[in-house]
Structure 1
């Protein structure tokens, strides 16, 4: 732990509690770590317009990786990197006549387009900075997007959809389940770990100098790339079994990340919440 200089964390299911917010205790611990010169990186599947109001609660500058690595913003909120999925690639997926029981979403720059209103997704935003727009995708001429994802209550049906899409698209997309009911597709070159490596190069540090925290399959490469990766207690059992070498910590509901960091890096008087 003496070599650790970088702390990397996911948001949903990891740093955020069940109300999709960063608790006051977590803010306190991260501020203390920042004051002790640890580099803080937040890496999330959320769009940057959605994530920025959440991390603003830290009240100190951080690096922000969003859309699973398709966007990177520096501590001054300047865009360092962006990569989109081409319109034709997305069209070839939507031409598969996906059952309308799936909620289909395209992350655009300023809005997220969807085939129908999904209140469960809407609840992820406390502040509606990144607005949904219900569209008929067959009438859209420009489908270029940061990320494409599908949601359904049945994880099994999402697996079937994933397999259907990958038959002819495996060479185009990387994919992950950020949550059991959220199947996400990005350009093949996009991953949180790839984006993080760009930041580490800028800061002249290595993955060996970093710890990471996550709860989803979109965190897998990030968790295994860092010196120490930690899986949330609320993560899917399948992820825990896939990565048995990684330590499991407390859940997001009970500030698992902040409590672990406080116990590992801070003085005893800071552990009180």
Structure 2
């Protein structure tokens, strides 16, 4: 069967995938997605970003999009109705901070209306320059409410984050899902949270199946999504380790080359 005839649902990550290195959607990508909408494809954006952050970006497409955020902890309909949500309980998150995390690591709690962090991190701030989702500097040693959507750590030294991941999983392997969305970004979510699970909920709602979907991603938080969909593509800018993990998948142009829009234009338009 021709790919165009099989696929009914288009799914894409944001950072490193739909967005360029300036964290923007290009005019070309916007035009392609509007045309795909006109041709009745169901569009899903699945990202690690918080929904307030992602909504301000996806609105720039000017077409209806289902939004999966915080790696699957939230699902919003194309008209921004909250369809699904799950949080991590305060006590279990606090116990992670009791593990004596290296103070050089930037730690972030994704809360409902803001994000709490121990450091002002310029690199992290650059991802959300126009977002309504704003940071709050806090002292985690005195913080009382640790309930959060997602737990996020960043450091320029990947090995520091690997060591932290191993430290946390030695105690909580059955409690959390984790992923490296980028080599310098380590994320923990509730065990039931993954992009692929949230996407499955949308497909059930819209009466589609995974075999009718195509997905695009560049990070390890996309891995299960890429494995689940009928067709999956890896961005040319993705880490080699992800390509090695999924060697059977085709690699396309990078995010700065409008890889997603170019592929969709060539195969579907």
Gaps of 5+ in 1: 267-273
User: Could you tell me which of 162, 177, 180 is aligned with 1:177?
Assistant: 180
Matches within 5 A, 1:188-203: 188-203=191-206
Matches within 5 A, 1:2-81: 2-81=5-84
**TM-score, structure 2 as length reference:** 0.98
Aligned counterpart, 1:216: 219
Task: Kindly provide the CA deviation profile for residues 130-172 of structure 1, in whole angstroms up to 9, marking residues without a partner as x.
Answer: 0000000121111000000100001111101100110011111
What is the alpha-carbon root mean square deviation over aligned residues? Answer: 0.5
Matches within 5 A, 1:157-172: 157-172=160-175
Moved over 3 A (4+): none
Aligned counterpart, 1:269: none
Correspondence 1:147 to 2:150 = yes
Distance 1:73 1:217 in 2: 22
Contact between 2:18 and 2:255, CA under 8 Å: does it hold in 1?
yes
Correspondence 1:134 to 2:137 = yes
Alignment: residue pair count: 266
Distance 1:253 1:127 in 2: 20
Deviation at 1:128, TM superposition (A): 3.3
Correspondence 1:250 to 2:227 = no
Distance 1:255 1:126 in 2: 21
Distance 2:164 2:145 in 1: 23
**TM-score, structure 1 as length reference:** 0.97
Deviation at 1:203, TM superposition (A): 0.3
Aligned counterpart, 1:186: 189
Distance 1:5 1:157 in 2: 41
Contact between 2:88 and 2:149, CA under 8 Å: does it hold in 1?
yes
